[in-house]
Amino acid sequence: MTRLIIIGPPGSGKGTQAEHIAAHFNVPAISTGDIFRSNVREQTQLGDEATRFLDRGEFVPDDVTNAMVRERLADADANGGFLLDGYPRNTSQVEALDAMLAESGNHIDGVVLLLVDDDELTARMLNRAREQGRSDDTAEVIRRRLELYRTETAPVVDLYSERGIVADVDGSGTPAEVTDRAVAAVERLLER
């Protein structure tokens, strides 16, 4: 059973790597974005609650997010493990996830932390913005998103670092190279 989290700044290729790493370990990649969209599309009670916040451009509150993640982790495909992408985003979500897993005697086995320098991240996101016609992704907006990521994510990474389960992975290079490095780093963590 492998229970993983992937963390990385915007533009680091986190979504792509989540899919590849999860496939290697034969566990589902679980994205909070996908969970939100599924609940909204199916008009669940949690989806309706989330929509009220999403429609105003606000973060979905922790209690709603935690409840959605709890439901998703209860699905049969997650019984043998999972890779979480986009959760936990703050220390209270770390505590909620710990409590969820402790109920079944489990814990997080490893955290993949994708590291890419700001210049490369900015170039990737500006390129993606051009390809997708996203005029809102300017260099200034991207810098702000990176600052927010660091502010919000640093405490989460610190908590998991204290547990000795963070694998720093160079996120530069081809997707296949990054996947190889990430898989090797996770395998080293799991061997301990």
Q: What does the pLDDT read at residue 138?
A: 83
- Does 55 score more than 90 pLDDT? no
All structural domains of the chain, each given as residue ranges with its CATH number in brackets, are: 2-191 (3.40.50.300)
Q: What does the pLDDT read at residue 33?
A: 86
Query: Using CA atoms, how far apart are residues 157 and 10, in angstroms rounded to an integer?
Result: 16
139-151 pLDDT, tens digit per residue, is 888 888 888 888 8
Q: Which residues are CB-neighbours of 169 under 8 A, at least 6 positions away?
A: 112, 113, 114, 115, 178, 181, 182, 185
Question: Up-side HSE of residue 28: CA atoms within 13 Å toward CB?
Answer: 14
92-108 pLDDT, tens digit per residue, is 999 999 999 999 999 99
Q: Which residues are CB-neighbours of 136 under 8 A, at least 6 positions away?
A: 129
5-17 pLDDT, tens digit per residue, is 999 998 899 999 9
Which residues are known to be catalytic? 14, 89, 128, 134, 145
- Does 136 score more than 80 pLDDT? no
Q: What does the pLDDT read at residue 99?
A: 97
Give the pLDDT mean for 58-79: 92
DSSP SS3 for 168: strand
Number of other residues whose CB lies within 10 A of the CB of residue 22: 21
For residue 14, report the phi and psi dihedrals to the nearest 5 degrees.
-60, -45
The mean predicted confidence, pLDDT, of the chain is 91
Give the pLDDT mean for 177-189: 95
Q: Can you list the positions of beta strands (E) in 8-101?
A: 29-31, 81-85
